[in-house]
Structure 1
Amino acid sequence: MNTRTAPLPPNRPAAASAATTITTTTDQSYAPYAEALVAHSGRDWLRLNVPGHAAAPGSALTDRFGARVTALDFPPLLDGLDVGPDNPLEQALALAARAWGARRTWFLTNGASQGNQIASMVAPALGRTLVVQRSVHSSVVDGLVLSGLDAVFVQPSVDPEQGIAHGVTAGDVAQALRRAPDAAAVYVVSPSYFGAVADVRAIADAAHAAGVPLIVDEAWGSHFGFHPALPAGALALGADLVTSSTHKLAGSLTQSAMLHLADGPFADRLEPLVDRCFRLVQSTSASALLTASLDLARRALVSGADRITGSVAAADAVRGAVRARGRFGLVCDRFHRFPDVTAADPLRIAVDTRAGGITGHEARQSLSRDHRIMVEVSTDSALVAVFGAGSAPDTERFVDALHRLPSPLTGSDGPSREPLSLPRPGAARLTAREAFLSPSRVVPAAAAVGLISADTLAAYPPGIPNVLPGEVITAETVAFLRRTAAAPGGHVRGAVDPAVSRLRVVAS
């Protein structure tokens, strides 16, 4: 095995000491788990174990997807893959920790949502209240239900014209910490779904000054720090625990992610807690394919500077073309108006479609139906396209299709065509856990106004909760959710029914 030292990515500190890493492998061009998996699948196995397809030829899976998929689909706890000293999985984890500048890294096979749940479950050992950005992903709220923590919410800045939330400032975090003497941790999101990057360094300083760790949901920034054109990663800026949705822009398979622990002042306390909580929520049948894809994504990021340069250039070309043609706007061109936004992810293209006479939902539907182009998400006012780190999409096809979209909003003054404003959250009456576990009843949406929600309700994607369990349901929020559900492709995560005609409330 080659154990030469490879250079670290930009802005990456060295990994932790050997006390937390059982392998000496430092060659980032090596993908130990993925390579061991391929070698294992190439042997002549008679498979009398799970999974039940047994990699047998002629099965429904092999007929549709080919024999390669099932041949690589092994269960955990196999010699030569993840059992024994210095096994390939441990080597892959150590290489990932070094690549991201972490003391320790965990591979997740239930997405960054699993990482957010783990981080929330760890926090009660440090205090009773989580100081948390209100516009976190719904999986963080799920974590509050699991942990039973109280929460002090920090309100993000909101772009009223776009109806989207950005981030929080260090000053707002410090003020919230003063209201929470029993704080366990600070929990923020950076970057946002629309590519807005927060001042993680300043927020980390505010958290540490109060004696608590900073947890960052960096689901959309797993590629950060691997190229000079990209923002620095949260670990390099002082974060203590970071959720990384590696499948989003870093190239691993859907549902694979990582959780990174910094080698900072809280590491000794957090490491055993994170490890135990990881075992609570990680599947005992973790997918070998997902795990291997994380190993390969790490290698591609570390070695892929030239490919990332091409991706950034392609995204810049799209932004330049949109500005030059003048019909649409770019959401990032408004970021300078908000004090909490310090940078933008260059691989995210958020287009203000209403400026061009069409809602984001209608634009997304037309791009898919008429041009066979998929974008990441749409809102009432915008759509978001993402370029994976290292990908080289057909930018001319996207720009041309975008500017061939109809403009049904031109001259329209009907109430259904008015921009959809982001509703303000209702007052919190119970903790998320108290409300979730309380006796509940389902009522018509109009009758739910003024009552306490038993569910998390989030326009999805991006999955930022508009209603939390324990919050009072407002008429403004009901109208927002019902309009979201009625839009083309609209979906409200957690709703009792697709139309949001009924809501689950805490029984009085």
Structure 2
Amino acid sequence: MNTRSTALPRPAQRPTGHASAAAPAPAPVSVPEPASSTAAPPPTGPQPHAPYAEALLAHAGRDWLRLNVPGHAADASRFASLAQLFGPGALALDFPPLLDGLDLGAASPLARAQELAAEAWGARRTWFLTNGASQANQIASLVTPALGDTLVVQRSVHSSVIDGLVLSGLDAVFVQPSIDAEQGIAHGIGPEALAEALAQALAAASRPAAAYVVSPSYFGAVADIRALADVAHGAGVPLIVDEAWGAHFGFHPDLPGNALSQGADLVTSSTHKLGGSLTQSAMLHLADGPYADRLEPLIDRAHRMVQSTSASALLLASLDLARAQLACGTAELEASIEAADRIRRTIRRLGRFRLVSDTFDRYDDITGADPLRIAIDTRHGHISGHEARRLLYRDHQIMVEVATDAAVVAVIGAGSQPDTERFVEALHCLPSPLSDAGHQPLQRLPAPGPARLTTREAFHHPARLLPAAEAIGHISADTLAAYPPGIPNLLPGEVITPEVVDFLRYTANTPHGHIRGAHDPLVTHLRVIDSGTH
């Protein structure tokens, strides 16, 4: 990889015996040069530059007497434990917001970095976020009441979208995704299902505010965003796409096009997932379409509401660097795709396991697949996904992203090149504890119970705690989601069903199982609204 190193200026020499020594210099930042590969044309403009990261690096190289926050003051000698864990360079780069030469003003390095990100993703405007795509989903939910009173939303959205409904107070019409019953996973929705839900909202005399869909899914299934955008626009509403898992889309010809290029109006991007930025950093992209003039000032206001006033400079800089890497790292992306393809080819050849993506052609709502996602049907190899994940972690020091009762999902970050042989060998060394005769029934995704209240009404309603078995038939006060992937299995305002309780308790008792929003780790009790059943 060709890189250009931005050298850090040496701090000015202090007199001998000064009470506080200068912090050691952070390591130089390497910014990718355009790739030499001819697989895709290089981006236009100064995409190899990372203006905010470079300005932050230069700022850290000056001889500051830091009498402001953060309290460690970049003093690696006095805060040795921090410096030992993170390195003195991280402390030196940890500046607060609102500094000249970094983020103040319309022409600041941060503003320029966000402009380059908008250019790279094809957006009218891009916002850098420091609380993940969850923050992006909350912003998107907060602005939609200005457009209508009902959000038409895919039922398998991330729980942060449901949190956004609580914040916004919007009513919702949910669109059920297609379900792979064999795997127990949700895919996406098609244009016909979206059109039917929009018509349902209109028939109820409500004003649809927007359509909210997910693509790609947690298992890499890509929806027909172009067709969904046409349906939404035909109904007079914008299309919002939770593209949390697709930050890398559009940066290589072997990857699906990103949602903005397919007609989406507002796109949430969890850049840290596969895009290479630090954990908890993300972006929100606004298209230059018919809804942009109305949405842009609203997004600005919502962004100020939910973005920390102490946003991490480290996270912001990582977004700047990730954008430069994606925009100019065609050769590295190609190597990542080839690594994923190599794993798939070997799994198919050895025959013990199957690939979930090999069944995507059965579903009309799936038009493509993310090549950097490797979803493996472990049940076919006579081991549950939860057990496979546990043994890979414990015995082989291999972490996979998601496990279900039937599968594990491995992801390869855009630009990374993992040891594919190590993973394939460890996978095929897993024991086969399940025989065909003793195969446990698959824990299927439960169908949601009927909605009796809006999410906001249920959230604010007085609640009480009941044993899980006694909560059946009552209305949930909480959002409960098996995590990962974080798709809500129970929403505030929905009736609690036996199937939902069984699924949540089963998941909570599996290795690495976690239920976001649960009152207790094993889901022995549930919070229900105090008025009982409706």
Instruction: Quickly name the TM-score band, shorter chain normalised.
Output: over 0.9
1:256-290: CA deviation from partner (whole Å, max 9, x where unpaired): 00000000000000000011001100000000000
2:193 is equivalent to residue 172 of structure 1: yes
Pick aligned residue for 2:310 from 278, 282, 285:
285
Deviations 1:31-50 (A, max 9, x none): 00000000000111111111
The correspondence of residues 178-327 of structure 1 with structure 2, limited to 5 A, is: 178-181=199-202, 182-327=207-352
State the 1:186 CA deviation. 0.1
Larger Rg: 2
- Tell me the equivalent position of 2:116: 95
Contact 2:150–2:170 (8 Å) recurs in 1: yes
Spell out, residue by residue over 1:174-223, the C-alpha distance to the aligned partner (whole angstroms, 9 max, x if none).
11111112100000000000000000000000000000000000000000
Which of 482, 485, 488 is equivalent to 2:505? Answer: 482
- Counterpart contact for 1:247–1:257, Cα < 8 Å: yes
The total of aligned residue pairs comes to 489
Query: 1:26 deviation in Å?
Result: 3.4
| In structure 2, distance between residues paired with 1:323 and 1:63 | 45
Please tell me the root mean square deviation across aligned C-alpha atoms, in Å: 1.6
Q: CA deviation at 1:10?
A: 9.8
Distance 2:289 2:227 in 1: 16
Partner of 2:405: 380
Q: What's the offset of the Cα at 1:411?
A: 4.9
Distance verdict in 2 for CA 1:438–1:461, change over 3 Å? same
d(CA) in 2 for partners of 1:339, 1:507: 42
State the one-letter code of the partner of 2:352: R
Q: What is the rounded CA distance, in whole Å, between the counterparts of 2:393 and 2:509 in structure 1? A: 18
**Residue of 40, 51, 58 corresponding to 2:70:** 51
- Find 2:51's aligned residue among 27, 32, 35: 32
Secondary structure of the structure 2 residue equivalent to 1:433:
helix
User: Cα distance, 1:345 vs. partner?
Assistant: 0.2
Structure 1: distance between partners of 2:316 and 2:67: 22
Match of 1:73 among 83, 94, 106: 94
CA separation in 2, counterparts of 1:10 and 1:294? 24
Report deviation, 1:63: 2.5
Shift of 1:64: 2.2
Question: In structure 2, how many angstroms separate the alpha carbons of the residues matched to 1:109 and 1:489?
Answer: 26
Q: Is the 8 A contact 2:259 2:267 kept in 1?
A: yes
Offset of 1:85 from its aligned partner? 4.3
Structure 2 CA distance, aligned partners of 1:205 and 1:85? Answer: 35
Q: What SS class does the counterpart of residue 127 from structure 2 fall into?
A: strand
Unaligned residue ranges in structure 1 (runs of 5+): 1-5, 15-24
Structure 2 residue aligned with 1:106: 127
State how far apart, in whole Å, the 2-side matches of 1:275 and 1:84 are: 15
Spell out, residue by residue over 1:145-180, the C-alpha distance to the aligned partner (whole angstroms, 9 max, x if none).
Answer: 000000000000000010000000001001111111
Is the Cα–Cα contact under 8 Å of residues 387 and 393 in structure 1 kept in the other structure?
yes
- Asked if residue 354 in structure 1 is aligned to residue 379 in structure 2, the reply is yes
One-letter code of the match for 2:502? A
Which amino acid letter does the alignment assign opposite residue 496 of structure 1?
A: H
Q: Calculate the TM-score normalised by the size of structure 1.
A: 0.94
Deviation at 1:84, TM superposition (A): 3.1
Partner of 2:496: 473
Tell me the distance in 1 between the aligned counterparts of 2:312 and 2:198.
40
Shift of 1:409: 1.3
Distance 1:225 1:26 in 2: 17
Distance 2:87 2:363 in 1: 50
How far the C-alpha of 1:418 sits from its partner, in A, is: 1.9
- Seq. identity, %: 70
Within 1, Cα distance between the matches of 2:235 and 2:478?
32
Which of 152, 158, 162 is equivalent to 1:137? 158
- The whole-number CA distance in structure 2 between the counterparts of 1:80 and 1:65 is 25
Give the TM-score normalised by the residue count of structure 2. 0.90
Helix, strand or coil: the match of 1:179? helix
For 1:55, the aligned partner's letter is A
Aligned residues of 1:454 and 1:504 also touching (Cα < 8 A): yes
Contact 2:40 2:330 in 1 (8 A): no
How far apart in 2 are the matches of 1:409 and 1:218?
36
Please, which of 384, 402, 419 is the counterpart of residue 427 of structure 2?
A: 402
Work out the CA distance in 2 between the residues paired with 1:302 and 1:281: 28
**Residue of structure 2 equivalent to 1:507:** 530
Partner Cα distance (1:246, 1:191) in 2: 14
Give the equivalent residue in structure 2 for 1:20.
none
Secondary structure of 1:343 counterpart? strand
Shift of 1:413: 2.7
The residue aligned with 2:15 is none
Q: Is the 8 A contact 2:223 2:367 kept in 1?
A: yes
